[in-house]
Structure 1
Amino acid sequence: MHKIAFAIALASSLFPSASFAETRQDEAIWVNATVMGRIDGGLVFFAEVQPRIVEGASRLGQVIYRPAIGWQFSNAVTAYQGYARVVEPHKDGGEARIEDRLFQQITWNVGKIGSLEVQSRTRLEQRWRSDAEGMSLRVREMLRFEYPLADAERRVAALGWVEGFAGLKSARWGGVSGFDQLRTFAGLEIPLPGKSTIEAGYLNQTRHVRGGQSDMSHIASLTLFVRP
């Protein structure tokens, strides 16, 4: 249970840090499609694509492509090695900015507290960008909570999660040391045929930027998980 205590402490320490001198607001839409499954034995994979529409949901601000391969050590713990390519189209039609990431990830199905299902995801990211030199290093910790709204095995569930980001090493092009951003989500998990699901709801992103400011995005979030 030490990860739960760590994440709660992290979140409580980050909320005050998100109150900067000036907060810029935005509205966005994030859509995510993820395919995940088993290759053979304990060998598993996932692959996702996520377009993000920003600036009042008026333009495509970012597309993330993120495949990973992993090993399921038990029903509770899976470790992944992955790669992400982040493409940011230029506002005026110029050359897109590219960010490349390597990441290592551990997911842990913590268990149940009554009917509440708890999961942890820890991710370490090494980040490079096409417009400048240097590597930025960042750690992310997510706690995810599901509460079934019916007794059936395939049921709608109330869903919430919180994810804190902390920079361990900055680079010339950016990145921070210390608090980076906090994401909080509230919505529903809806079953689809087979084992696939849709998650829909509201996501709040509060992100630190240099100069004592913060960016807050109010995001309509829709995620499709395809599990063959």
Structure 2
Amino acid sequence: MSRLPFCLFALLLPATALAQEEDQELWLTGAVSVPLGEGTKFEFDTVSRFGNDPGGLYEIEINTLVAHQVAKGVTIGGGYVRNINYSRGTVTRTEDRLRVQVGLSGAAGAVKLSGRMRLESRWRPDGDDTGYRLRPQIKATLPLGDSAFSLVGSHESLIPLNDTDWGEERGYDRMRNFVGVNWKASKLLAIEAGYLNQYRFGRGGDRDVMDHALAMSVGLSL
């Protein structure tokens, strides 16, 4: 075993051992991007999440974003999110979010790099407070020769910035790591699938939770 894979394996062992609860899930995303003008586009996507523990569908996100390129490789954007949570077919809570973000893109040799820093403002009907959360993400894409396929890897952190009366607690909350394959089926259509690991850190005595998800997305760029 080479040194790098061995080190990565050793780093992953503590997280795996600490996870007290695990779930097997399916995450499905459908997205469309529509140009609004030079350097500006409107993005719309829905995310449906299914899990064994919650008895099937447990979350739907409806996301909107308007993004504008202000310089080469630099975009700014903002939008609205509606989040709905379920448990065995029953709505358990809803959440509204406004988000603003800065995106960066570039390359390191053959690897295409992209990242963004997102700030969310969050409201729920079961509380009066506004929650704020940072969501930095970085993504690397490696084209496989001249084919329409690429290897993809990404990391995202979710970091609440304050406590709220509806249960959010300040501090590092969770991380999402993804590895998969992207297929550029045509100039307009891209399909991506792979393994996503979500690790949620326990709060207030709760156990840590590790979710193993098959993540699939279909994106349409008009």
Q: TM-score range by the shorter chain?
A: 0.7 to 0.9
Paired residues of 2:123 and 2:131 also in contact (CA < 8 A):
yes
Partner of 1:217: 211
> How big is the shift at 1:70?
2.1
> How big is the shift at 1:114?
1.5
> How big is the shift at 1:68?
1.1
Partner of 2:137: 142
CA 1:16–1:124: 2 relative to 1, 3 Å: farther
> How big is the shift at 1:19?
7.4
Residue 129 of structure 2: SS of its match in structure 1?
Answer: coil
> How big is the shift at 1:40?
1.2
Question: Among residues 18, 36, 41, which one is paired with 2:38 in the alignment?
Answer: 41
The structure whose RCO (Cα within 8 Å, separation 6+) is larger is: 1
Partners of 1:193 and 1:57 in 2: CA distance: 36
Matches within 5 A, 1:183-198: 183-198=176-191
> How big is the shift at 1:55?
2.2
Partners of 2:128 and 2:14 in 1: CA distance: 28
Matches within 5 A, 1:154-169: 155-169=148-162
Residue 161 of structure 2: SS of its match in structure 1?
Answer: strand
Q: Where does the alignment leave 5 or more consecutive residues of structure 1 unmatched?
A: 1-14
Is 2:93 the partner of 1:97?
yes
Partners of 1:49 and 1:22 in 2: CA distance: 29
Q: Which residue type is aligned with residue 114 of structure 1?
A: G
CA 1:213–1:16: 2 relative to 1, 3 Å: farther
Paired residues of 1:90 and 1:97 also in contact (CA < 8 A):
no
Q: Give % identity.
A: 28
> How big is the shift at 1:44?
1.4
CA 1:147–1:57: 2 relative to 1, 3 Å: farther
Partners of 1:76 and 1:21 in 2: CA distance: 39
How many residues were matched structurally?
211
TM-score, structure 1 normalization = 0.85
Residue 173 of structure 2: SS of its match in structure 1?
Answer: strand
CA 1:71–1:50: 2 relative to 1, 3 Å: same
Is 2:120 the partner of 1:121?
no
Q: Which residue type is aligned with residue 174 of structure 1?
A: G
* Off by >6 Å, runs of 4+ in structure 1: none
Paired residues of 2:57 and 2:89 also in contact (CA < 8 A):
no
Query: After superposition, what is the alpha-carbon deviation per residue over 1:94-149, rounded to whole angstroms, capped at 9, x for unaligned?
Result: x441111110111110x222211111111111111122221111101111001111
Partner of 2:166: 173
Paired residues of 1:136 and 1:174 also in contact (CA < 8 A):
no
Partner of 1:12: none
Is 2:102 the partner of 1:106?
yes
> How big is the shift at 1:89?
2.3
Quote the RMSD (CA, aligned, Å): 2.3
Q: Which residue type is aligned with residue 104 of structure 2?
A: W
TM-score, structure 2 normalization = 0.87
Q: Which residue type is aligned with residue 216 of structure 1?
A: M
Paired residues of 1:20 and 1:213 also in contact (CA < 8 A):
no
Residue 169 of structure 1: SS of its match in structure 2?
Answer: coil
